[in-house]
């Protein structure tokens, strides 16, 4: 397993930067090991498939997901100033407030891709061993 560690700075978009790192480093089967930091805006697709923009400061309490050259599938949980936590599918528009410290793991003997699953109606993870 190979690891990449990076820090995002104020104003950077969390999803865009993870996609950029994935492409730049040719990550074919990656996953988020950890992420801590803060946002001044969060954009999430919720469980009912609606997309909601939350324009306030948040602490990142969890970021999980898989990374490949054609797709990143990431879920984010954030907590506001009262400790209320919300989470969903990470969309563009999650803007770093002070920092985001991220560690990405990469499986060098696998290739992740997505294939439409008739049972779910979504493109689901396909794991290929190299």
Phi and psi at 14, nearest 5°, equal -55, -50
- Domain CATH code at residue 27: 3.30.1330.80
Quick one: which H or E segment has residue 33? strand 30-45
Please state, in angstroms and rounded to a whole number, the distance separating the CA atoms of residues 65 and 78.
15
Print the domain residue range for 74. 2-129
Q: Structurally, how many domains does the chain consist of?
A: 1
Q: Give the model's confidence band at 16: pLDDT under 50 very low, under 70 low, under 90 confident, else very high.
A: very high
Strand partners, 95: 13, 41
Q: Give the model's confidence band at 94: pLDDT under 50 very low, under 70 low, under 90 confident, else very high.
A: very high
> Average pLDDT, stretch 16-31?
97
> Average pLDDT, stretch 73-97?
98
Please state, in angstroms and rounded to a whole number, the distance separating the CA atoms of residues 100 and 24.
19
The average confidence (pLDDT) of the chain is: 97
Residue 114 has what pLDDT? 96
Per-residue pLDDT tens over the stretch 34-71: 999 999 999 999 999 999 999 999 999 999 999 999 99
Q: Give the model's confidence band at 4: pLDDT under 50 very low, under 70 low, under 90 confident, else very high.
A: very high
Residue 58 has what pLDDT? 98
Question: pLDDT > 90: what percent of the chain?
Answer: 99
């Amino acid at each position: 397993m190979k690891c990449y560690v990076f820090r995002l700075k104020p104003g950077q978009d969390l999803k865009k930067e993870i996609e950029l790192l994935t492409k730049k480093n040719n990550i074919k089967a990656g996953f988020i090991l950890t992420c801590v930091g803060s946002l001044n805006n969060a954009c999430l697709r919720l469980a009912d498939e609606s997309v909601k923009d939350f324009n306030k400061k948040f602490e990142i309490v969890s970021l999980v997901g898989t990374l490949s050259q054609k797709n990143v599938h990431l879920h984010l949980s954030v907590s506001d100033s009262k400790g209320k936590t919300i989470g969903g599918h990470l969309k563009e528009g999650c803007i770093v407030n002070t920092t985001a410290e991220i560690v990405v793991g990469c499986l060098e003997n696998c290739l992740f891709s997505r294939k439409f699953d008739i049972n779910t109606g979504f493109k689901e993870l396909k794991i290929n061993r190299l």
